[in-house]
Amino acid sequence: MRYQVYIYKSTATTANAPAIGMCNNAVSTNSTYAWKENEAAHFMDNFDTTAVSEKIRALVGDKCRIFAQQSPKQYGNVEYLCVSTTYADAAVVLPYIHCVTSENDLVLYDAERKVVFFRELVNQTFITVKTRIDELVHAILAEMKPVWTIRKIGVHTTDRDHDYCYVVTLRKNAQKAFVERCEEFYTCLKKHLAANESLDTRHECFTIAGKWYSISFCLEGYKKHPNMMGYYEGKFARVKLIHRIGCDEAFRWLKENNKSVRGVRERMNFYEMERAYPNPADRFAASVNISKWETRQEEVRYSGIGVYGAEILFHTVPSDFYKDGDSISVLAIDEFDAEPILKIVDAHYPYFGERYYLEENHIPVQMWRKIVEDCKAQKQKYCDAHKFKQAKLLDIFIRWSESQLYRHEFSDEGRMLNIQGP
């Protein structure tokens, strides 16, 4: 694993300009599609890549590799640099790179953390957790042979906290039972703990916790399609059959159906998902199953904040409006199909359709509870009239709403339902 940053010259005046995001996507993927889709080359200029490369090499020596790259010919052959280093050397290399880019009025894009740095350049916790992941993965591969795969299934990071989840899938060892392999796995992690780390075995997984970070490993195996989970309960290793899709099979489905793993991981961070599935592997499988459901149920999507087109978006916000945007789930329903819900909303909140600004469409919790109760009554009427599609949509909205209301019942801050139209 390598730590990569990109250096380019942009016509944008601030780091928050939309053009910066377009350029970041284009230089980091370097795909013709990205250059064409966002026209990033229009917001970039050439610079002396040779001189900048020589300055960086003079400061850091062989601690990094520097590659000169260009946009495709049809987009101007705009030059930029990719700088690659190890996680161990990143804390030394990055300040020098930042110094050079600042002197030459260049943009420095950290592709690992997906941010443009004009403030805090080095996040020591991020570097520590990435280094520890590398060390632990190498230890598992060396001591737990035969290993099928080690895959990242979840990640949730902020400026301070970094939480990563992995699933370790073991191949069958004819000489040892799976429960013995589970004991070996626990011993392996215990042996490789750092001085300030602890090993937690709650939620049927193995979580290594350090200061401001955690690394969780879920253990699965054997058979052609892994169907068992290994974990610790108290001081004893346990094994159980999993009555869900295995993580390996879930990854295969995502690949075969061209579904985004990133979208699945985003959904895993929603509060209701964490509450319902404290084990990361269970949560990953459940999120993939939702993607399967959405493939068949085109009029409803369950995702994060985003652009949805001709759909009605239902989500929750703090009463002081977007104090935080983490773990916000959105129920997106096709505008036409959402009409039964909107009629009930309009009965409690007249002239809803004339409120075009996001902050004007807040619905207080007490009003929201009344809307849910009316939806339950209307759902029964639809069932009695054999209008099962409308009843199903109302049922989805009711279950999603109740999970949000449960969360905010124990929250000190006021929360509101927010509705956006197309």
d(CA 375, CA 370): 9
Residue 306 banded pLDDT, cuts 50, 70, 90: low
φ/ψ bin of 30: left (φ > 0), alpha (ψ from -120 to 50), beta (otherwise): left
d(CA 340, CA 115): 42
Give DSSP secondary structure letters for 7-55: EEEES-SSTTSHHHHHHHHHHHH--HHHHHHH-GGGGEE---HHHHHHH
Q: What is the pLDDT of residue 372?
A: 93
- How many residues are recorded in the chain? 422
Mean pLDDT of all residues in 93-118: 86
For residues 164 and 216, is the Cβ–Cβ distance under 8 A? yes
The predicted-structure confidence for 75-93, as pLDDT tens digits, reads as follows 888 999 999 999 999 999 9
Mean pLDDT of all residues in 115-126: 70
Give the torsion sign (CA, 210, 215, 220, 224). Answer: negative
SS3 271: helix
| 85 beta partners | 3, 64
State what percent of residues in the chain have pLDDT above 70: 88
Q: How would you classify the pairing of strands 162-170 and 213-221? A: parallel
Give the torsion sign (CA, 234, 240, 245, 250). Answer: positive
User: Is the per-residue pLDDT at 413 higher than 80?
Assistant: no
Q: Does a cis peptide bond (omega within 30 degrees of 0) precede residue 146? A: yes
Q: What is the pLDDT of residue 52?
A: 94
What is each CA distance from 141 to 168, 206, 405, in whole angstroms? 10, 16, 44
- Give CA 414 to chain center in angstroms: 26
User: Is the per-residue pLDDT at 151 higher than 70?
Assistant: yes
Q: What is the pLDDT of residue 136?
A: 97
d(CA 18, CA 40): 10
d(CA 160, CA 169): 30
Mean pLDDT of all residues in 295-320: 70
Structure tokens, 399: 């279950």
Mean pLDDT of all residues in 51-64: 93
Q: What is the pLDDT of residue 118?
A: 54
What is each CA distance from 271 to 117, 284, 315, 327, 401, in whole angstroms? 30, 14, 12, 6, 12
User: Is the per-residue pLDDT at 419 higher than 90?
Assistant: no
User: Is the per-residue pLDDT at 237 higher than 90?
Assistant: yes
Give DSSP secondary structure letters for 231-246: EEETTEEEEEE--S--
Q: How would you classify the pairing of strands 330-334 and 311-318? A: antiparallel
- DSSP symbol at 192: T
Residue 119 banded pLDDT, cuts 50, 70, 90: very low
The predicted-structure confidence for 339-386, as pLDDT tens digits, reads as follows 889 889 888 877 665 544 445 567 778 888 899 999 999 999 999 888
Q: What is the pLDDT of residue 120?
A: 55
d(CA 215, CA 206): 8
Q: Which long-range CB contacts under 8 A does 251-254 form with residues at least 24 apart?
A: 251/151, 253/288, 253/292, 254/288, 254/291
User: Is the per-residue pLDDT at 208 higher than 60?
Assistant: yes
Q: What global pTM score does this model have?
A: 0.71
